[in-house]
Structure formats: C-alpha cells, structure tokens
Chains A and B, each alone.
Chain A
Amino acid sequence: MPAVQETVDRVRRIDVDQYRYGFETLIESEKAPKGLSEDIVRFISEKKNEPAWMLEWRLEAYRRWLTMTEPTWARVNYPKIDYQDLYYYAAPKPKKTLSSIDEIDPEILKTYEKLGIPLREVAILEGVEPPPGGEPSEQRKIAVDAVFDSVSVATTFQKELKKAGVIFMPISEAIREHPELVRKYLGSVVPTTDNFFATLNSAVFSDGSFVYVPPGVRCPMELSTYFRINERNTGQFERTLIIADKGSYVSYLEGCTAPQRDENQLHAAVVELVALDDAEIKYSTVQNWYPGNSEGKGGIYNFVTKRGDCRGDHSKISWTQVETGSAITWKYPSCILRGDNSRGEFYSIAISNGYQQVDSGTKMIHLGKNTSSRIISKGIAAGKSQNTYRGLVTAHRKAIGARNYTACDSLLIGDKCGAHTVPYVEAKNSSATFEHEATTSKISEDVLFYCVQRGLSQEEAVGLVVNGFVKDVLQQLPMEFAVEAQKLISISLEGSVG
C-alpha cells in the first residue's frame, strides 16, 4: 500500500492548520461572569427580556441538570469538562439600538463578509450572483440569521418572508413576540429532561433561530442560520425551533465556524423540528467548527441534540449533514415518525482527520402506520481519527408496515484511523421491513495510481475518489451548498485531514 502511505505522509508534511476560518474578530463584548448557577440563568433570561414563564422553564431545566450525569456511552474520549470554568453568555457590545443592518458593528459585518455569508439582502452565494443589472431570481435568495457567540446579530429578508406569512427571527425575539407558538412547541420534541447536554442547553440557551411556516405555505426561499463562536472559553448554546404547519414546506440550512484556539470549546445546541399533517422540512447542516490542530490540540466539542417530530400524517422530515469540523462530534439527528404514512430521512457525510472523533448517526422511531425511513451514511476516516456511525431503527407495536432502508459505508484513508458501525435495530411488530447494508473499504492504491497517471496530484485524486464516494448524499443538499460542501471536503482532505 505504498501509494496510500505516500498520501498519508504527504498530508502529514503539509502545514497542519489549513482551517480557513480560524481568525478572531477583535470586538468588545459583554459577558456573564464565569460559571453556572441559578443567578447566571436569571442573568441570561433578564438580558433577553424574557417573560416569567420562560425563566421558570429555564430554572426547572437547570435544577434537573444538577441531578444528571454526563453520558459516557459514545466512542469518544476527552478530559473532564469543568462546567464552572466556562462563560455561558457573551454578546458583542452594542453601541446603540440597531434599526437596520447598516448599524451593525462593521467588525461583525467584516467577519461575515470574510466567511462569505451574505448579511445584506442580495443573493450572493459564490457562483450564483444575479446577472449584471438583473434582480436576483426568487429561488436564489437565501434568508440568513447570523448568530455571533450568544446573540443573533442580523436576520435578513424578514419583511419579504412576512409577506408570505413565514416567521423567521431569532428565538429570543420569538419568545417575546410569539409566545403562544414558542410555549406550545418549545421542548415538545426534545424535552428539558431529555439528556445531559440538552438539559444544559434548556437552562442557558441564548439565541438561535425560530421558524414558523403557516398552513399551505411553501417558504419562498431557503432559510439559513450561520453560527459563529468568537469569544474565548465561551460555550455556545443555541436553540433552533422550526414548525411547519399543515401542508407547508421549508428548507433550512445551518453553517458554523469558529476561531482557531488551543483550548477546547463547548457547543451544545438543541434543534427541534415539528412537521404537522402533509408538511415537509428539509434541514441541512454544513458543520465546520474548528477541528483542532494536527496534534489534537484545541477544537470544538460539538455535543448536539437534533430531533424532528413528524407529528402529522403524511409529514416528512429530512436531515442532511456534512460534518467536517469539530474535535469531537456527538450528534444523532433523529426522526419520530408519529403520523401515519410519515417519512424520515437521514443523509450524512462525516469526515474525520487528525485526532478528530466522530460519534454520529440517527434514530428513526417508527410509531405510526406505514411509516418509512431511509438512512444513507458515509463515514470517511483519515489521519488518527475515529469515526463511528451509531444508529437506532425501531418500530413500535402499532407501527404496522414500517419500512427502513439503511446503508452505512465507511472509507478509510491510511492505517491509523478507525471506522465503526453500531446499528441498533428493533422491531416490535412482525410487519416491519428493515434492511441494513454496511461496507467498509480502503481507498484503493490502484484507483489512486490510475488518477495520478492521468495527471491528478495525490491529493486531487483522494479528493475526487472521496467526492465520488459521498455523491449520493451531496445530491441531497441544496445545489449552492452542494458545491460549497464539495470544496470543503477537498479542503478537509488537503489540510488538517489525510
């Protein structure tokens, strides 16, 4: 296997940190005192001008959290986290109350510009600029909610969305402006008691996005939230809640980056999706948190609870994730298939390199009749990383005719990494049809040689083969992001990844 060895060596020689988003924005910020206590929870709630019910909700979660222990079942290793040594709230210091995007601190605007995130209301993703002089076409518009550390700094296209009846705003605003919706749905998919990290999030979450799509409305544009951690020693605890009312449709994308730092940073988010009768939610993630350097120092701990509830009949929730960042990833975007004939999908690409550890997968919980689900997972391990797929497919007694198809493929690059597949399959009724396929392969030396003989460099060859390997999943992403993700995969494999 010399060719593979050569690639691995070559990658090792390359300057380690090719993470392109590792810069820091120097900006004054307002922080809560370090550590976690009831007072901090009150502080956050007060900062957000929250109603009393919200504070109570948080405090209940906090008290519950004190009785819980950190889960240890995932195939990841990290030193004990001192939860009293973190900041739970950090916000860019506002110079005055903002009334338009032009009043946002220019440093923050610059940051998003550097990240390629459009905060001005034009459709400007790479390669999809509108024709000169022409208006951006409807489907090219992307509304963005930008979350910087603990607060949302801008949400674009709000007016236009409002016309369609779609509510897209920071969750902190939604708590004040649409309390009836938030109270009804918040915690209804991921209860405050769900798990250690989700409970912590419930106590201290500071911002995130809120989406409500009214009955029968097809959201006129892609919605996206862009998360940025900037502050040192700060945890980011965002909370996203998306509700697709009867017969509606929404496609939502989140992206994330963070500066390069030697310390580990905690990111514990909760995402809840609710799809009512005949509604569809497509949720895509391109996760590119700082992965740590080639020695395994620094990087984000990405401990995230994402769950969708297909509450209505004929509803559909589809998760697509491209995971390339974070030192440790612990996330299982799941679907509760409650409504009859509902459908859940999970498409995942998880790339690990260096010392990254990924334990990710999904849960498809079939409760309703004739529910179906599909899982396509592509894990790519390089360097000294460990990449685990962990999944649960279960059919309840009453889930007559439940169907699942699962395909888990792993690709190994080099011989110091590991790929693991841990599928749990339970059928409590005899009419369920569950299929599971899994493969593990090494990137073949013959294939690499073929490519370099045709003029590709070793790295281009690896990138090409890997992009081919993940193609089925890339196709699930909104087109503009598929292009981005494809680039990201190549970069990951060039730089800090083997």
Chain B
Amino acid sequence: MALLEVKDLQVRVEDREILHGLSLTVNPGEVHAIMGPNGSGKSTLSHVIAGKPGYEVTGGQILFRGEDLLEMAPDERAAKGVFLAFQYPVEIPGVATMNFLRTALNAQRKARGESEYSTPDFLKKVREVSKSLSIPQDMLKRGVNVGFSGGEKKRNEILQMALFEPSLCILDEMDSGLDIDALRIAADGVNALRSSERAMVVITHYQRLLNYIVPDYVHVMAKGSVVKTGGKELALQLEESGYAQFEDA
C-alpha cells in the first residue's frame, strides 16, 4: 500500500484556489523532490498534508496508509507519523527545548497507546541524536529556537525528526538561509534517517539541495499542480532551463 496518496487535491485560501487537482503517490522508502517557482503551491501542499488551519480543501483526498488524513486533527497526524520540517521554525520563549522534545514525544507515544519514555532513556536518546547532528547540549537548555542561528533552527528540526521517527518527512525549503557547511550537516542528518520504511518529500527551489539529498523522483510544480515528473536528472535539467517553460504553459 502506498504511504501517501494525494488524489486530485483542490485547495482554496479565502477566495483563491491555490491547488487545482494535484496528485502525488509516495511509497515507503522513497524520496520525492518537489520543485517549482515561488507561488506554485509547494508550501500549501505541505501545510495541507500536515493540517495547518486556514486552508479549505474543496475537492480530492489525501490518504495516509489508506486512511483519510483530512479527517484527522494535526496532532493525530503527527502521532500517525507525519512530520513537517518547517521553513521558518517558530520560537517559543520560556519553554526549554529539552522539555518541549519530551512533551511532544510523549504526547505522540501516548496517542499511539505506547508507554512514555523514562527520563534516562529519553536523555540517552537525545544525547545520541544531538551528537550526530553536532548540537551542543546547552542549546537544548535554551528556549525552543530562541536565539538560534538559521542553521541551528534547521538542525533542531532534524533532531526532532530523528527523535520522533516519523514514517513521512516533509522538508519545506530546508536549504533556505543555510550556508554550505550548515547545509551539509543538515543534509547528512536527513540522509542518516533514510530507510526502507520511511519516505521523504523534499520541497525546494534549487537543485543544490538535491546534490546532498538525492531523490528517487523529481516533480515540477507550477500554478497549483504537478506538471512534470522524472528522475533525479530532471532537477539538473531544470537548473539549466529554469521554470519559465512550465509557467508559460
């Protein structure tokens, strides 16, 4: 069974239709890149999958392991294994990162009927993962993303991804605001999480990121739907020819 099936999805924000009949199928183990110009609806797609309020689905459906995702509250989707790495992770002053991680992880486990992590087990896990992402321990004591650099914020997203072990990871513009070294660390973190059970949807403007996270499929989005699908070589072609050909179509 496909992990994620988006079928003929139509989405409006206020009076404007953003997605006009978008379809996408993602199987476990696959990495899909979604590329496209600004305003093509890439971020809208990621938000609708994760359940962000403010979008009206006027047609089509989204199935996650055959279940109707649109019927679920965003926190239920998270517990089922949908993870969105934000383009702009928010700051939560006064809430220590460590506390946030534990609260979220245990909320997900509880929703799945699993036991909560004990403190030593949790700490051990966080230490392992944060080490592999070069996240210093004192960063975890600070408020969630408060005073973090762009690179630290992105690494914090990947840290959460590694901790929560979702089956679908959506990475929204992970490369924005990162210099080349920060990008490499982040991409290494993502690659370490690739597995035969886990799928990834990587949303990006630029081919650059796909040098580090090599996709199985590349989809080009323009004006609210997928206009072309190919292998990883499609990204390289786009780098040369640009998006204009699709926008004019």
Contact = CB atoms under 8 A, between A and B. Distances in A.
B3 interface: no
A440 interface: no
B204 interface: no
B39 interface: no
Interface string B83-103: 110100111111100001001
A454 B94 contact: no
Name which of B79, B83, B90 has the most chain A CB atoms within 10 A of its CB.
Answer: B90
B48 interface: no
B53 A445 contact: yes
A449 B53 contact: yes
A472 interface: yes
B54 to A, nearest CB: 5
**Contact-size category for B:** 20 to 34
A131 B68 CA distance: 50
Contacts of B79: 455
Contact of B92 (A6, A458, A465): A465
Contacts of B207: none
A469 B93 contact: yes
A449 B54 CA distance: 11
A460 B107 contact: yes
Interface in B52-96: 52-54, 73-75, 77-79, 83-84, 86, 89-95
Interface in A444-472: 444-447, 449-458, 460, 464-465, 467-472
A464 to B, nearest CB: 6
B105 interface: yes
B86 A450 contact: yes
Contacts of A445: 53-54
B167 interface: no
Contact of B104 (A2, A456, A467, A471): A456
Interface in A81-108: none
A370 B108 CA distance: 53
A258 B89 CA distance: 43
B143 interface: yes
Contacts of B78: 452-455
B94 A451 contact: no
A450 B94 contact: no
Interface string A377-398: 0000000000000000000000
A3 B53 contact: yes
Nearest to B163: A454
B75 A452 contact: yes
Interface string B103-117: 111011001000000
A2 B14 CA distance: 12
Nearest to A444: B90
Interface in A1-57: 2-3, 6
B95 A467 contact: yes
Contacts of A464: 92, 95, 100, 103
Given A456-B75, A470-B94, A450 B108 contact: no
B50 interface: yes
Which of A2, A449, A454: most chain B CB closer than 10 A? A454
Contacts of B89: 450
Nearest to A445: B53
B105 A455 contact: yes
B160 interface: yes
15 contacts: A445-B53, A447-B91, A449-B52, A450-B90, A453-B74, A454-B100, A455-B111, A456-B103, A457-B75, A458-B75, A467-B94, A467-B95, A468-B94, A468-B95, A468-B143
Interface of B: 50-54, 73-75, 77-79, 83-84, 86, 89-95, 100, 103-105, 107-108, 111, 143, 160, 164
